[in-house]
Amino acid sequence: GTMAHMKSVLLLGVLASASAFQTSFMPGMKAPVVARRAATMTGPVMAEPVPCGINGFGRIGRLVARIMVKDPETKLIHVNAGSATPDYMAYQFKYDSIHGRFNGEVVVDGDDLVLDGQRVITTRQRDPADIGWDKTGVDYLCESTGVFLTEEKAQAHVDGGCKKVIFSAPAKDDSLTVVMGVNPEDYKGQTDFVSCASCTTNGLAPLVKCVNDKWGIEEGLMTTIHAMTATQAVVDSSSRKDWRGGRAASGNIIPSSTGAAKAVAKVIPDVKGKLTGMAFRVPTIDVSVVDLTCKLKKEATYEEICDEVKRRAAGDMKGFLGYCDEPLVSTDFESEPISSTFDAEAGIMLNPSFVKLVAWYDNEWGYSGRVVDLMKHMAAVDAKVKA
């Protein structure tokens, strides 16, 4: 009884959401997914899936793989991992302490992984020249080892046969930086190397864009209360470059530096020299929250700011900027695909030109989604340039 009722309710929900796409379909069909994705994409929808590869199978590499396998617009062809064997890669892909078990089939076949029926070649090479992107047909590469973050270093991947390299981290040189939802138009096909910035820049920039477009930001300070990441230590360890960073992540609030706020100027030149910030690393596994305290050029009420964020979250910034007026906490944003979700209840205004704004971001999942979005966007632009 109850199960049947549940199913009919679910089916109604599915059909109701589908009507927006003007397609008649049965649950399980891919069409609505494509339509929904197309709505958040800038530029044309690709007819052929984008041939993708991943270098480095850490937190971001694995989640990018999960997203690609479920996205009909991308085709994951080849993953190069440092030393992980195929069976270990399958295990790392399938189980995740935060995002749960992979919803689909994971099979190991020799050196290949078969993920949801899609065959993915795996290799274990340290030198890009030996990976063989040219042999496997990878055009767009997610570079997530943290090692090849300059044009000079990443050139080895292009020499190895891929067309474009997308850094899943801030570039260590002045490579083009694109934050989806903020400055996608800056990529015109002019370079083979593009950085997706950092998770925190993606968590901050959409909110900055929204506020700056309407009122102008005179100056601002950002603090991110940031989840633990793999660069930290479980118990007190040593870190000669960053003494505090070598302390136990699991039991401390650790002040840390971050270039994320300054980096916003790379994607919103208007705020150059007006933003900076810092981080507190706290003992949570994933999901971070950014606190932007800023002086506005034009006066506003807090309600007006909420209304404007809400408007753009439902409009041109949909999928990148979110709006939330429920009293949520960090775990509620685990696996949230939106880059930056404004928390209306958490912010506070001191006076009409001085305000503290709060936005949540899943620093793993949201960011990984943007890496994939950027790869698809570049492919769409490149196809237009070619045509």
**DSSP conformation letters of 348-381:** EEEETTEEEEEEEE-TTHHHHHHHHHHHHHHHHH
Q: How open is the CA angle 143-208-265, to the nearest 5 degrees?
A: 55
- Residue 337: strand, helix, or coil: coil
Note down pLDDT in tens along the chain; length 387 residues.
544 444 444 444 433 333 333 333 333 333 333 334 444 444 555 579 999 999 999 999 999 999 999 999 999 999 999 899 999 999 999 999 999 999 999 999 999 999 999 999 999 999 999 999 999 999 999 999 999 999 999 999 999 999 999 999 999 999 999 999 999 999 999 999 999 999 999 999 999 999 999 999 999 999 999 999 999 999 999 999 999 999 999 999 999 999 999 999 999 999 999 999 999 999 999 999 999 999 999 999 999 999 999 999 999 999 999 999 999 999 999 999 999 999 999 999 999 999 999 999 999 999 999 999 999 999 999 999 987
What CA–CA distance (Å, rounded) separates 375 from 145? 17
**Annotated catalytic residue within 142, 199, 294, 324:** 199
* CB contact at 8 A, 202 and 209: no
Q: Distance of CA 275 to CAs 63, 168, 219, 299, Å?
A: 30, 23, 6, 19
Active site residue 199: yes
- Calculate the dihedral angle through the C-alpha atoms of 319, 332, 259, 63, rounding to the nearest 10 degrees: -70
